[in-house]
Chain A
Amino acid sequence: MQQAISTLPPARALSQRRQNIGDLVFATVARASGILVLLLLGSLIVTLFIGGLPAFRAFGVPFVYTVDWDPVQQIFGAAVPIYGTLVTSVLALILAVPLAFGIAFFLTELAPSWMRRPVGTAIELLAAVPSIIYGMWGFFVIVPVMSQTVQPWVIDNFGDLPLIGDFFQGPPFGTGIFTAALILAVMVIPFIAATMRDVFDTVPAVYKESAYGLGCTTWEVMRSIVLPYTRASVVGGIMLGLGRALGETMAVTFVIGNTNRIATSLFGPGNTIASLVALEFPESPAGSLKLSALLALGFILFVISFIVLAISRTLLRPRLKA
Chain B
Amino acid sequence: MSASVSAGGSGSRLVKNEAVARALGRRRHRINVVIKALCVAATILGLLMLSSILFTLLWRGMDGLGLSVFTQMTMAPGSNGGLLNAIVGSLIQTGIGTLLGTPIGLMVGTYLSEYGGNSPLANAVRFVSDVLLSAPSILIGLFIYALIVAPFGGFSGIAGCVALAVIVIPIVVRTTEDMLSLIPTSMREAAVALGAPKWKMIVLICYRAAKDGIVTGVLLAVARIAGETAPLLFTSLGNLNWSVSLREPMASLPVTIYQYAGSPFDDWVQLAWVGALLITFGVLAINILARVVLRGGK
Contact in complex: B169, A40 (CB < 8 Å): yes
Contact in complex: A19, B53 (CB < 8 Å): no
Report the stretch among B2-10, B39-47, B70-78 that lies at the interface.
Answer: B39-47
CA of A279 to CA of B263, assembled, Å: 14
Partner of A278, one of B32, B35, B130, B138: B138
CA of A107 to CA of B257, assembled, Å: 35
Please, what's the 1-or-0 string for A299-315, where 1 marks a CB less than 8 Å from any CB in chain B? 00110011001101100
User: Is B280 engaged at the interface, CB distance under 8 Å to the other chain?
Assistant: yes
Report the stretch among B80-88, B113-121, B210-218 that lies at the interface.
Answer: B113-121
User: Is A110 engaged at the interface, CB distance under 8 Å to the other chain?
Assistant: yes
User: Is A150 engaged at the interface, CB distance under 8 Å to the other chain?
Assistant: no
Contact in complex: B135, A48 (CB < 8 Å): no
Which residues 127-160 of B have a CB within 8 angstroms of A? 127-132, 134-140, 142-143, 146-147, 150
Specify which chain B residues have a CB less than 8 angstroms from the CB of A161 in the assembled complex: none
Contact in complex: A31, B254 (CB < 8 Å): no
CA of A246 to CA of B197, assembled, Å: 46
A278 in contact with B227 given A99-B42, A122-B50, A128-B283 (CB within 8 Å): no
User: Is A261 engaged at the interface, CB distance under 8 Å to the other chain?
Assistant: no
CA of A247 to CA of B273, assembled, Å: 25
Which residues 40-98 of B have a CB within 8 angstroms of A? 40-43, 45-47, 49-50, 52-53, 56-57, 60
A126 in contact with B49 given A133-B57, A140-B60 (CB within 8 Å): yes
A37 in contact with B142 given A132-B229, A250-B230 (CB within 8 Å): no
User: Is B111 engaged at the interface, CB distance under 8 Å to the other chain?
Assistant: yes
Contact in complex: B39, A103 (CB < 8 Å): yes
Expressed in whole angstroms, the minimum distance between the Cβ of A136 and any Cβ of chain B is 5
Specify which chain A residues have a CB less than 8 angstroms from the CB of B112 in the assembled complex: 34
User: Is B223 engaged at the interface, CB distance under 8 Å to the other chain?
Assistant: yes
Specify which chain A residues have a CB less than 8 angstroms from the CB of B135 in the assembled complex: 44, 247, 302, 305-306, 309
CA of A274 to CA of B231, assembled, Å: 11
Specify which chain A residues have a CB less than 8 angstroms from the CB of B146 in the assembled complex: 47-48, 50-51, 295
Specify which chain B residues have a CB less than 8 angstroms from the CB of A313 in the assembled complex: 127, 130-131
Specify which chain A residues have a CB less than 8 angstroms from the CB of B131 in the assembled complex: 41, 306, 309-310, 313
Shortest Cβ distance from B282 into A: residue: A130
Specify which chain B residues have a CB less than 8 angstroms from the CB of A206 in the assembled complex: none
Expressed in whole angstroms, the minimum distance between the Cβ of B254 and any Cβ of chain A is 5
Total A-B Cβ pairs within 8 A: 254
Shortest Cβ distance from B116 into A: residue: A34
Shortest Cβ distance from A294 into B: residue: B142
User: Is B179 engaged at the interface, CB distance under 8 Å to the other chain?
Assistant: no
Report the stretch among B11-19, B183-191, B198-206, B239-247 that lies at the interface.
Answer: B198-206
Expressed in whole angstroms, the minimum distance between the Cβ of A48 and any Cβ of chain B is 6
A122 in contact with B124 given A34-B112, A99-B42, A130-B229 (CB within 8 Å): no
Partner of B42, one of A19, A27, A106, A126: A106
CA of A51 to CA of B50, assembled, Å: 39
Partner of A99, one of B45, B52, B261, B273: B45
Please, what's the 1-or-0 string for A44-76, where 1 marks a CB less than 8 Å from any CB in chain B? 100110110000000000000000000000000
Partner of A129, one of B134, B139, B173, B284: B284
User: Is B166 engaged at the interface, CB distance under 8 Å to the other chain?
Assistant: yes
Shortest Cβ distance from A24 into B: residue: B199
Contact in complex: A274, B138 (CB < 8 Å): yes
Contact in complex: B52, A278 (CB < 8 Å): no
Shortest Cβ distance from B140 into A: residue: A44
CA of A221 to CA of B249, assembled, Å: 57
Expressed in whole angstroms, the minimum distance between the Cβ of B200 and any Cβ of chain A is 7
User: Is A38 engaged at the interface, CB distance under 8 Å to the other chain?
Assistant: yes
CA of A27 to CA of B32, assembled, Å: 56
Please, what's the 1-or-0 string for A258-285, where 1 marks a CB less than 8 Å from any CB in chain B? 0000000000000000100110010000
Which residues 101-134 of A have a CB within 8 angstroms of B? 101-103, 105-107, 110-111, 119, 121-126, 128-134
Specify which chain A residues have a CB less than 8 angstroms from the CB of B236 in the assembled complex: none
CA of A295 to CA of B143, assembled, Å: 9
Contact in complex: B36, A219 (CB < 8 Å): yes
CA of A194 to CA of B273, assembled, Å: 29
CA of A309 to CA of B288, assembled, Å: 27
A139 in contact with B128 given A47-B147, A129-B280, A309-B135 (CB within 8 Å): no
Contact in complex: B272, A136 (CB < 8 Å): yes
Specify which chain B residues have a CB less than 8 angstroms from the CB of A79 in the assembled complex: none
User: Is A26 engaged at the interface, CB distance under 8 Å to the other chain?
Assistant: yes
* Shortest Cβ-Cβ A-B pairs, 8 listed: A247-B136, A130-B227, A102-B42, A26-B199, A33-B107, A30-B111, A19-B197, A217-B32
Q: What are 15 pairs between A and B in contact, CB < 8 Å?
A: A34-B112, A37-B104, A43-B147, A122-B46, A123-B46, A124-B287, A129-B280, A132-B257, A133-B57, A134-B53, A136-B276, A254-B261, A306-B135, A313-B131, A317-B130
Besides the contacts A250-B258, A286-B150, what 20 more A-B pairs have beta carbons closer than 8 Å? Answer: A26-B202, A31-B111, A33-B108, A34-B108, A37-B104, A37-B125, A37-B173, A51-B146, A98-B42, A106-B40, A110-B36, A125-B284, A126-B46, A126-B50, A135-B258, A218-B36, A249-B229, A302-B139, A305-B139, A309-B135
